[in-house]
């Protein structure tokens, strides 16, 4: 590392450690009610910030920035944009360790799903989930059923897998999930047929 890189690294760490200022006029006092209106979000106000969830969380043990107690606290404060636009809500592995140990029965694992639903409704979706939508829509499953997979299946006498994405796409279209696929986004970006430059035939 040269001197410039050292200085940049120090600046980055210093910035990360700077206390964040919470501006009251940017808080949304109704955010907790929005969460409560979502399926499985209704118990969020039971939290008394004991930290058992954070201490139990396996994701937290490998990723220090992930902190379920902090996410809940931010949500209760009304930090809507910060919560919904952050990567936090997408990092939960749904292991249910916190769900089982929370003394207040906040049901955090399922509340995380409520936060994910709200994030998507507000236009925030993690690229990893877009990738999963594309894979399932394109192959009918989360991975391609190629000849390698089928050879391995044949060795243990399992039937050949065939791809049948059409019914999946129909389900995605019926449920609205299709709108979040790359295909749908790209089709919206294409110029509509009959649309001539300048928009006039005069």
Interface residues with ligand SF4 (CB under 6 A) are: 47-53, 56-59, 68-69, 72, 92-98, 102-104, 106, 108-109, 112
Rounded Cα gap, residues 151 and 131, in angstroms = 26
Task: For ligand SF4, give the closer residue by CB, 101 or 141.
Answer: 101
- Rounded to 10 degrees, the C-alpha dihedral 115/118/122/126 comes to 50
| 104 or 130: CB nearest ligand SF4 | 104
User: Residue 94 Cβ, how far from ligand SF4 at the closest point, in Å?
Assistant: 5
Judged by beta carbon, residue 69 or residue 80, the one nearer ligand SF4 is 69
> CB-wise, 68 or 78, nearer to ligand SF4?
68
Q: Which are the contacts of 163, defined by CB distance < 8 A and separation ≥ 6?
A: 139, 140, 141, 144, 145
The answer to whether the beta carbons of residues 72 and 109 sit under 8 Å apart is no
User: In the bound complex, what is the minimum distance in angstroms from residue 53's beta carbon to ligand SF4?
Assistant: 3
Q: CB 117 → ligand SF4: shortest distance, Å? A: 15
Q: Quote the least distance from Cβ 31 to ligand SF4, whole Å.
A: 16
Query: Angle at which helices 68-77 and 108-121 pack, to 10 degrees?
Result: 50
């Amino acid at each position: 590392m040269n001197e410039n890189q050292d200085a940049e690294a120090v600046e980055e760490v210093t910035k990360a450690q700077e206390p964040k200022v919470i501006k009251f006029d940017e808080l949304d006092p109704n955010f907790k009610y929005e969460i409560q209106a979502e399926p499985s979000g209704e118990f969020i106000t039971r939290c008394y910030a004991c930290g058992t969830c954070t201490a139990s969380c396996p994701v937290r043990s490998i990723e220090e920035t992930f902190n379920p107690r902090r996410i809940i606290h931010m949500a209760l404060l009304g930090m809507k944009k910060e919560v919904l636009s952050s990567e936090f809500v997408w990092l939960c592995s749904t292991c249910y360790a916190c769900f089982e140990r929370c003394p207040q029965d906040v049901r955090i694992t399922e509340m995380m799903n409520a936060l994910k639903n709200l994030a998507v409704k507000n236009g925030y979706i993690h690229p990893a989930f877009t990738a999963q939508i594309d894979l399932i829509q394109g192959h009918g499953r989360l991975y391609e059923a190629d000849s390698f997979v089928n050879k391995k299946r044949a060795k243990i006498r399992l039937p050949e897998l065939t791809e049948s994405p059409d019914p999946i796409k129909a389900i995605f279209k019926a449920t609205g999930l299709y709108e979040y696929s790359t295909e749908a986004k790209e089709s919206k970006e294409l110029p509509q047929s009959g649309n001539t430059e300048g928009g006039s035939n005069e």
